[in-house]
Amino acid sequence: MRIFASQLAKQRFAVFCLIGALASAAVGFAGGLMWMRERNPILKEPTFNNLSASYNEIMSDYLNGAEPKALIDGAAEGMVQSLKDKYSHYMIGESGEAYVQNYESEVVGIGIQLRTENESFIIDSVIKDSPAEKAGLKAEDALVSVDGKATKGINMDKLVELLRGEKGTKVTVAVQRAGRAEPITVTMARAAIPVLTVTYEMMPGGVGKVVISRFAQKTAEQFEDAIADLSKQGMKGLLLDVRSNPGGLLVPTIAIANHLVPNGKTILQVVSKDEKDVHTYRSDQKEPWKLPIVVLTNRHSASAAEVLTAALKESSGATVVGETTYGKGVVQRFNQFADQSVLSLTEAQWRTPKGSWINGKGVEPNVKVELPAYTELAALPSDTVLKKGDYGDAVKTLQQMLQALGYAAKDATAGVFDTATDAAVRQLQQAESIQPADGQVRESTTARIMELLRDKLEKEDYQEQKGVELLIKQISGSK
């Protein structure tokens, strides 16, 4: 869970100041040094001389030369790494900016969502009022090139990099549309595109399902909009899905809890270093929430997702269904510097409304339900062709996916792309009309395998099924 800090202002320290007669210069100099040491504790450390001397010697004598900023960034990275805290990081320049963008409410681009199909990039949907919509791009258009660079043979990450850029900059996209012989080429200006972290749907029986993928700046607003729309549709119970939610910002998490947790009830306790200060967040709910709540969790629900889960479980009587959560009971504050670098530092721990510290333990579900093993498999590499004779973890994952889909490679050696694995791949390719059906796992085969697994999970999502079952019972019992 993270807390924003305002951007740090540059601190400039005067060594000394001439005040009054010239005769007071020595006193001013000594006083200035003492003031610097008080304001900069690092100057009191004896080993600071080592750092200063090393910097000077590198800048003066290193054979290949060095950049001052690179040395200082390296020193900052080293300080944070010495903490041996997996949640504290120093991220330099663009890496820091990318980190911050994870929690912002928008990204800069053209406003399309893509999927891969037969080694092509297909527009899955076009965001309303986006540059892409205004330029006339449509769902099912196939991307041919971006700024003259062919999309064939590149991976999704590279394509996204080509499409994104600074707000207002131009990008030219060529697409192939069904029924047209020649590609359509359009040029548009990149714009800020809202990032959706909340999706929702009305399910049978009056169950309103809300999925929160992470907690970013606009998540609470998106949640409120979802609840308002579901209420209009006659929602009678809330199924809140925070599975695989890695957490995020504290402020939107508290705002959502305020909507669901009874007024005055505890949401969480934040405990500072050495337990010098304990800040208790309590709900300031405006309108009572009267509907039953079931929360879905898994082992990847972490940080802010655990805050909300624990608050709903302990202060609202919600039922938690699924798996024990990740167990991240600490809070980071991150500061972004003028060069976009970011320091994310663990500064506090948090406890549940009942005072439990879940770090390393997680939040236990009321009803434990596990998903099939295939849901934990890593994704297959989209930019690598797997074929007969290959071996390794990716091949082992492929074999497990084939087995889950009913294409078991009989007598196959685990992790080895042998004759049995080749036969199983060919069988799948033929059944799914994937060309060429030659036993090689290219991006088209990889994409289809992932689609089939997603479809399979929709039918075998036992956690969601149990959550709906419990909500229906509560809804029926409240009549």
Backbone angles phi, psi at 424, to 5 degrees: -65, -40
Average pLDDT over residues 95-99: 78
Mean pLDDT rounded to a whole number for the chain: 88
Local confidence band at 3 (pLDDT 50, 70, 90 cut-offs): low
Per-residue confidence (pLDDT) for residue 35, from 0 to 100: 45
Per-residue confidence (pLDDT) for residue 428, from 0 to 100: 97
Local confidence band at 382 (pLDDT 50, 70, 90 cut-offs): low
Let me know if 459 is a catalytic residue.
no
Beta bridge partners of 319: 294
Average pLDDT over residues 424-435: 96
Average pLDDT over residues 397-404: 95
Coil/strand/helix, residue 442: coil
Report the percentage of the chain scoring pLDDT > 90: 65
Average pLDDT over residues 34-62: 78
Which segment of 334-338, 406-410, 421-425 scores lowest on mean pLDDT? 406-410
Residue with tokens 């590149």: 154
Report the percentage of the chain scoring pLDDT > 70: 90
Local confidence band at 379 (pLDDT 50, 70, 90 cut-offs): confident
Which segment of 48-57, 126-135, 301-310, 375-384 scores lowest on mean pLDDT? 375-384
Residue 43 pLDDT exceeds 70: no
All structural domains of the chain, each given as residue ranges with its CATH number in brackets, are: 106-194 (2.30.42.10), 198-373 (3.90.226.10), 374-459 (1.10.101.10)
88, 213, 303, 344: which is the annotated catalytic residue?
A: 303
Let me know if 244 is a catalytic residue.
no
Cβ atoms of residues 468 and 205 within 8 Å: yes
Average pLDDT over residues 22-47: 52
The listed range with the strongest mean pLDDT (16-20, 26-30, 58-62, 86-90) is 58-62
Average pLDDT over residues 354-364: 97
Local confidence band at 33 (pLDDT 50, 70, 90 cut-offs): very low
The listed range with the strongest mean pLDDT (18-22, 33-37, 271-275, 280-284) is 280-284
Per-residue confidence (pLDDT) for residue 377, from 0 to 100: 87
88, 130, 306, 314: which is the annotated catalytic residue?
A: 314
Per-residue confidence (pLDDT) for residue 42, from 0 to 100: 67
Give pLDDT tens digits for 446-478. Answer: 889 988 998 999 899 999 999 999 999 999 986
Local confidence band at 31 (pLDDT 50, 70, 90 cut-offs): very low
Give pLDDT tens digits for 160-172. Answer: 889 988 899 999 9
Q: How many helices (H) and strands (E) does the chain have?
A: 13, 20
Per-residue confidence (pLDDT) for residue 380, from 0 to 100: 81
Which segment of 40-44, 315-319, 392-396 scores lowest on mean pLDDT? 40-44
Average pLDDT over residues 407-425: 92
Average pLDDT over residues 11-25: 31
Tally of CB atoms within 10 A around 389: 10
Per-residue confidence (pLDDT) for residue 474, from 0 to 100: 95
Give pLDDT tens digits for 216-274. Answer: 999 999 999 999 999 999 999 999 999 989 899 999 999 999 999 999 999 999 999 98
Let me know if 57 is a catalytic residue.
no
209, 218, 236, 328: which is the annotated catalytic residue?
A: 328
